[in-house]
Amino acid sequence: MVYLDYCANAPVEQQVLDRFYEVTKNIYANPNSIHKLGREAEDLLNKSADHIASYFNVTRDELIFTSGATESNNLAIKGICERYRNKGKHIIIGSMEHNSLVSSAMRMQEMGFEVELAPVDQDGRIDRDELEWMIRDDTILVAIAAVDSELGIRQDIEGLASFLKNYPQLYFHVDASQAIGKVDINYDDVDLITFTPHKFGGINGTGVLVKKKNIGLKIQMDGGKSTSIYRSGTPMLANVVACDVALDLAMTHQKEREVYVKKLQAKILEFLSSYEMIHINNTRYSDAYVVNFSVKSVRAEAFSEMLEQHEIYLSTKTSCCPTNAPSKIVFALTKDKKLASTSLRLSLSYMTTEEELDAFFKAFTICYKDIFENG
C-alpha cells in the first residue's frame, strides 16, 4: 500500500497519539471547574496554548480553538464581516481558495456583501497590481491561502501583508492549513490565521484561529465559558495538548523534512515528464510536498481508480470538492477545462519512502500503457 494523499490528512505522530491518550485518560477534569483537578487541567491547557502562541508571536488570548480549519475560516470571515459591516461590505478572496473559505464568503454575499476573486498570474500567485486595483474604500477583508491545497503554490504572504498595511480599513486573513510545518512564513503583519494539526501529524477535529488582539469578531457560537469569548464550548484539553506536540514536532523538523521531500518530488517530476501524455501543473512556486499532473484525455477519477487497483492512493483534487467536478484551482491557473478535468494531486511527507515511489512508478507505468499503448 502506498499512501500519497498527505495534503488531505496526515497520519497521527506516535508522540502526539501517546500524549493525547495520556491526557484523555488521566486529566479528565473540566478546565473551567474551580476545584483542584480543574485548576490542574487549566494549567496544562494554558501551558500548551502559550507554547502554540509563541510560534506566531502572540499570546494565548489571541488563540481560538475550533473543530478544524473549516470552522476557523467560517469564524474569521463571517465574524469580521458581521462585526465591521458598518465600515464596508466588500470582500476580496483569492481565486484558488479552499471551499470553506469560498463558501463562507458566498454566504456573506447572500447577506448583502460583494465578493470579488483576486486573479493569479501564470505562476499561480496573486497579481499584486490587480489586487491593488480591486481594493476600495469599503473593502473590509482580504482572505487568501498561504499555500493552496492542490498545486502547493506558496503566496507571498509577507509581501501581501506589508502591502495591505496601506489600507487600514481592511483585515487580512490567511488560511495557513497547508503551510504550517512545510514552509517558512512570517505572519506578524497578518490579522487572522487559520490552521489545523491534522495536516501535520495532529488529531482530527482540532483547529486554531489566531486572531490578533486589536480585532473583534461577531460571535458565531453562543454558549458557556471556553478558552475564548468568541467560541463557546468545554475546552478540549487533550486536543490542545496534542496540537502543541504536533506543532512542535512539525516546526522543529521542518527544514530537514523539506530537504528530504524535495528530493522525492524532483524524482517524481523527472519520471512523469518522460511521458508524452502527462502535463505537469506545478509552477515554480509550488512547494516540495505536492505534484499535480494531468493525464491528457483521461478523466482524473478513472486514472485514480486504476492506480487504486495497485494500492496506490492519491487524490484528484482537494478532498472537500465534489468528486466529478473539474479542479477549480487547476482551472484558475491554466484556464484549461481539460487539464482541470484530468488533474491528479500526489502529496508527499517525510514518511514517504523511496520504495513507495518505486511502487508508484511501476503501477503508473502499467496503467499508462494500458490506456495509451494496449488500449
Catalytic residues: 320
CA–CA gap between residue 26 and residue 211 (Å, rounded): 31
Q: Which residues have CB under 8 Å from 188's CB, separation 6+?
A: 57, 161
Distance CA 246, CA 260 (A): 19
With CA atoms as reference, report the closest residue to 271 among 291, 299, 297, 301: 291
Query: Grid coordinates in use for 323?
Result: 468528486
Amino acid at 43: D
Q: How many helices (H) and strands (E) does the chain have?
A: 12, 12
* Coil vs helix vs strand at 164: helix
- What 3-state DSSP class applies to 192? strand
Q: Which grid coordinates belong to 200?
A: 501535520
Written as nine digits, the cell of 111 is 447577506
Distance in angstroms (rounded) separating the CA atoms of residues 31 and 29: 6
Grid cell of 116 as nine digits: 470579488
Which residue reads 507554547 in cell numbers?
A: 51
Beta bridge partners of 211: 192
d(CA 58, CA 98): 25
- Using an 8 Å Cβ cutoff, are 167 and 185 in contact? no
State the Cα angle at 362 between 356 and 365, rounded to 5°.
135
- Here the cell at position 74 is 467560517
Each as own residue / partner, the long-range contacts of residues 331-337 (CB below 8 Å, 24 or more positions apart, any chain) are 332/95, 332/96, 332/120, 333/96, 333/120, 333/122, 333/124, 333/151, 333/153, 333/281, 333/283, 334/281
